[in-house]
């Protein structure tokens, strides 16, 4: 058997805040495990249509804290998801206090960051949507 993708793991500082963010993206909790001995919780999230474990994000929460978070080290790049309507998704995120770091000016791609500074790329499913305001003239905020 060859190599097989399992999941992407990101450390989180505030599990509930991070879960709320990923659920805004449309992910659902697929499974959870807690280790009393290791003093951590693992939560596996996935898109609803990919609940077979092939597209999991593992949130790792250390009960005793994680002083390195949130840092700005982009030690792994980003997570990427396609969405049915990139404008609608970005509006939902903005309405819930999420900064759109790279707005979808082209109707195709946007970047946001999770509460733990994880860069998330959002891509429009299929063809790019026609440019529309306020996105077309919105400037970048921060970096991604």
Contact in structure between 15 and 116 (CB atoms under 8 Å): no
Is 121 considered catalytic here? yes
Asked if omega into 70 is within 30° of 0 (cis), the reply is yes
Q: What are phi and psi of 19, to 5 degrees?
A: -60, -45
Q: Check if the beta carbon of residue 79 is closer than 8 Å to that of residue 18.
A: no
At 91 the three-state DSSP class reads helix
- The active-site residue out of 29, 36, 88, 121 is 121
CA 117 – CA 54 distance, rounded (Å): 24
Distance, in Å, from the CA atom of 7 to the CA atom of 53, rounded to the nearest integer, reads: 8
Catalytic residue positions, numbered: 121
């Amino acid at each position: 058997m060859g190599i097989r993708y399992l999941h992407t793991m990101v450390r989180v500082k505030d599990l509930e805040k991070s879960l709320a963010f990923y659920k805004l993206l449309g992910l659902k909790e697929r499974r959870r495990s807690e280790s009393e001995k290791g003093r951590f919780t693992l939560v596996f999230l996935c898109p609803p249509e990919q609940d077979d474990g092939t597209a999991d994000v593992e949130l790792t929460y250390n009960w005793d804290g994680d002083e390195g978070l949130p840092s700005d080290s982009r030690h792994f790049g980003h997570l990427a998801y396609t969405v049915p309507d990139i404008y609608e998704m970005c509006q939902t995120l903005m309405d819930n206090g999420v900064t759109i770091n790279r707005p979808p000016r082209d109707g195709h791609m946007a970047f946001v960051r999770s509460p733990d500074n994880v860069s998330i790329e959002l891509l429009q499913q299929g063809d790019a949507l026609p440019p529309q305001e306020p996105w077309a003239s919105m400037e970048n905020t921060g970096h991604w």
